[in-house]
Amino acid sequence: MNHADCEVFAQRWTEAIVGTSYVAMGRRMLARHLLELTDQLVEGFLAAEFDPSVGRDVGVAMVESHFTGTDTLKETLALIAEWLPGLPTSAPPRVDVSSRVAQLVGSLAAGYASALRERSLDEQDAIYRAGLRARRQAEQALAASEAKFRAMFTEAKMGIGIGDMEGNITDANPALQEMFGYTREEFTQLNVSSMVHPEDAASVWDLYGELVRGERDHFRMEKRFKRRDGGEIWTDLTVSLVRDESGVPAYQVALLEDVSERRRLQAKLQYQAYHDPLTALANRQMVTERLDQVFAGPASQRRVGLCFLDLDGFKVVNDSLGHDVGDQLLKTVASRLTRCCGPGQLVARMGGDEFLIIVEDTGGEADMAVLADKILSAMAAPVRVGGHALTVRTSIGVVERPVADTNPADLIQAADITMYQAKAGGKGRYAMFDQNRNDSEVADFTLSATMLAAVARGEFYVVYQPLVDLGHGTLRGVEALVRWRHPTLGVLGPERFIRLAEDSGSIVQLGHWVLARACEQAKAWRDAFGDAAPLVSVNLAPRQLHEASLVTDVTQVLADNELDPSSLQLELTEQSLLGDDAGPLTMLTKLYGMGVRIALDDFGDGYWNLPDLRRLPLRELKLAGSFAAGLQSPCDRVDQRIVRALVDLAHALDLTVTAEGVETLTQCERFQAAGCDTGQGAWFGLPRAPEQIDALLRGADPLCNREAL
């Protein structure tokens, strides 16, 4: 046997069966493998003791290499049957070649078939086992996840319902059962379509329709349901579509959270946000929003009216009878107001004892006047509270305007201001908004509000009016008077702003500023003119006398300017000393004790109290200008006698007397004749800048107008 023959055979074998089965070998490796099998076959074929099982071994080996194709076997058998008989040359004698070939071929076929059968059965077995294992694992995983789902379904605080695609409810968890009051069995008799609530938004069922048609996968909304017992619940509802593996809608799952309590709370909070808890009327917030609505709409032709009410003397009720009575009174007022109003009219409590009525679409001020009258008469009957019969009086500010001409803030402000006018006008009445009056009040308000800043900016200055000794005709002193050089209104006199300053309290700072300026000036004169320097007289507002720091302030200013207290005079009116407070008198006494001259200003105007002249720590009496006017008349001797009596009285009390408002020679002479010590007025000179006082002191200018007249 020639090995080369075997190689040739193996090569032909390779060509014949390559591609007929899948083996993990390239062609060269395959050829090597088949050569080994060829050697094995040839050896067996030529063996002295022939054993056909060598064929079987080769068949088995082939299947082990993953030759599994039938064509592989067919080609192999054909090749062996064709080629082996050509090898008798090296065969032992008496060998039956064709019998051996037939046996070998048969044996190889049997080995291949039997190995293939075993292999196939093993592989089938393996794949079935793998299938079973995989299925078991999947089932375990499914069971685990179903157990998890079941636990979640049962234990969830959220209601869970499951339905088929026809809307039949198939399951409901305990939370859902409790939420609706149905048992699970009752639920399974229900269809989703029966869960309509009469007030459902149409969109609920549109969304539901889209879901069951498979057009959407979930939706979420707040929806009301009827419970089994007829009660109503609000739920946060999420409905989800569950599809099968091929994407076909299979069933629906609804998750419901009971949000009834939250809704109730929200409604309550909403109500509280817009209502006054005591009277249940609308509150300021609601007023703001309602007015915003009124003004948000198209303005053309629309008019709106407000009544701003304030109870007169409510504080007294509260303070004297207690807050409970006050609260009852407010509730009664609220219900009376509500009865006065109809549709399109909103009654609100703005706080305290202030109420506001908004009237939409008014026809003019007359409509509002009718309403205001109606309110005033509704308030006329006494209010019975806890055994008291309380008379309620209210002041009402009324404003009525075209919507186009105003805005909510201006409207309320106008009504508020007008209410104060009604109060100032005597209470228990209404006032209709007056534009001119409003303008002047706005102007006053503006002046008042900007005053202190103007002081700081240096817009204020002090002028000085001569006080002239009527005996010697010399300059005895000057009265310091304040002016405001307003950037737009020009120079303003005290009559324009002192009252405002007193109302706002700015008078304290302003008065102190004037005092400080005047004392600085006094020092300047003292430095320049020594003992010839004039006494400086400064007005003291009633309010200043209530400032605890007045004495220290005066002391400090005097010290700052190294002034003797006797060179300063403070003028005050009798009015300053009215009232029960002992403070002002104590302070005056201290100032008097320091040596500061105290003058009683404008004596004779209005209120006279002669005993005060004795009681008060005074050094000077200033007779009001009205006396000067009286002395002007040539024939009236009564006035002269009165002036003389006053001067005598003052002198008796050790007071000096200054005549104010002296404008003519006649007046001057008559005051001289009456024994008056000092004169002040146009006759002696108008208020002027300090430099002009310097000129007087130097004698450069004449002391009075006498020559000029």
Partner 1 sequence: MERSSWASDDVDIEHASPARVYDYYLGGSHNFAVDRQMARQAMDLWPELPLIMQANRAFLRRSVRYLVSQGITQFLDIGSGIPTEGNVHEVAQAAAPEARVVYVDVDPVAAAHSRTILAGNQHADVVQADLRDVTTIFDHPQTRQLLDPTQPIGVLMVAMLHFVPDEADPASIVAQYRKMMPPGSHLVLSHATHEGRPDQAGSHTELYRRAGAPLTMRSRLEVEALFDGFDLVAPGVVFLPLWRPDSPADVDDHPERFTGFAAVGRCR
Q: Decide if residue 23 touches partner 1 (CB under 8 A).
A: yes
- Please list the residues that pair with 242 across neighbouring strands: 251
Tokens describing residue 153: 């379904």
Q: Which of 241, 304, 359, 507 binds partner 1 (CB under 8 A)?
A: 241
CB of 18 to partner 1, least distance (A): 9
Q: Between residue 588 and residue 647, which ones bind partner 1 under the rule CB under 8 A? A: none
CB of 212 to partner 1, least distance (A): 14
Q: Decide if residue 658 touches partner 1 (CB under 8 A).
A: no
- The 28-47 site mask, x for binding partner 1 (CB under 8 A), equals xx------------------
Q: Between residue 179 and residue 218, which ones bind partner 1 under the rule CB under 8 A? A: 217-218
Q: Decide if residue 119 touches partner 1 (CB under 8 A).
A: yes
Q: Between residue 149 and residue 168, which ones bind partner 1 under the rule CB under 8 A? A: 149
3-state secondary structure of 193: helix
Q: Decide if residue 124 touches partner 1 (CB under 8 A).
A: yes
**Is residue 181 a contact partner of residue 229, using CB atoms and an 8 Å limit?**
yes
Q: Decide if residue 230 touches partner 1 (CB under 8 A).
A: no
By residue count, the chain amounts to 709
Q: Decide if residue 8 touches partner 1 (CB under 8 A).
A: no
Q: Decide if residue 19 touches partner 1 (CB under 8 A).
A: yes
Q: Which of 78, 142, 381, 686 binds partner 1 (CB under 8 A)?
A: 142
CB of 142 to partner 1, least distance (A): 5
CA distances from 319 to 315, 395, 435 (A): 6, 20, 36
CB of 137 to partner 1, least distance (A): 7
Size of the site for partner 1 (CB under 8 A): 44
- Cα–Cα nearest to 105, from 37, 58, 71, 69: 58
- Cα–Cα nearest to 465, from 525, 363, 535, 412: 535
Of 217 and 503, nearer to partner 1 (C-beta) is: 217
Q: Which of 148, 262, 457, 615 binds partner 1 (CB under 8 A)?
A: 148
- Cα–Cα nearest to 119, from 78, 200, 61, 173: 61
Q: Which of 2, 90, 99, 137 binds partner 1 (CB under 8 A)?
A: 137
- Residue 16 neighbours by CB distance under 10 Å: 17
DSSP run (H or E) holding 549? none
Q: Which of 36, 43, 92, 133 binds partner 1 (CB under 8 A)?
A: 133
Of 135 and 615, nearer to partner 1 (C-beta) is: 135
CB of 121 to partner 1, least distance (A): 8
Q: Are strands 249-258 and 303-311 parallel, antiparallel or unpaired?
A: unpaired
Q: Which of 8, 78, 127, 443 binds partner 1 (CB under 8 A)?
A: 127
- Cα–Cα nearest to 621, from 681, 683, 544, 676: 676
Q: Which of 3, 22, 352, 366 binds partner 1 (CB under 8 A)?
A: 22
Residue 420 CA to residue 422 CA, distance in Å, equals 5
Residue 108 CA to residue 18 CA, distance in Å, equals 18
Q: Decide if residue 24 touches partner 1 (CB under 8 A).
A: yes
Q: Which of 66, 227, 228, 315 binds partner 1 (CB under 8 A)?
A: 66
Tokens describing residue 694: 């310097």
Of 3 and 148, nearer to partner 1 (C-beta) is: 148
Q: Which of 36, 82, 123, 405 binds partner 1 (CB under 8 A)?
A: 123
First to last CA, the chain: 173
3-state secondary structure of 153: helix
Q: Decide if residue 21 touches partner 1 (CB under 8 A).
A: yes
Of 59 and 466, nearer to partner 1 (C-beta) is: 59
CB of 334 to partner 1, least distance (A): 57
3-state secondary structure of 214: coil
**Is residue 511 a contact partner of residue 545, using CB atoms and an 8 Å limit?**
no
- Cα–Cα nearest to 209, from 180, 257, 258, 252: 252
Q: Decide if residue 74 touches partner 1 (CB under 8 A).
A: no
Of 27 and 228, nearer to partner 1 (C-beta) is: 27
Give CA torsion, residues 277, 278, 282, 283, to 10 deg. Answer: -70
Tokens describing residue 316: 């007294």
Q: Which residues contact 161 (CB under 8 A, 6 or more apart)?
A: 169, 171, 172, 173, 176, 187, 253, 254, 256
* No. of helices (H) and no. of strands (E), the chain: 24, 21
Amino acid letter, residue 162 = I
Q: Decide if residue 126 touches partner 1 (CB under 8 A).
A: yes
Q: Which of 78, 130, 267, 665 binds partner 1 (CB under 8 A)?
A: 130
Q: Interface with partner 1 by CB under 8 A: which residues?
A: 19, 21-24, 26-29, 65-66, 68-69, 119-121, 123-124, 126-127, 129-131, 133-135, 137-138, 141-142, 145-146, 148-149, 217-218, 240-245, 247, 250
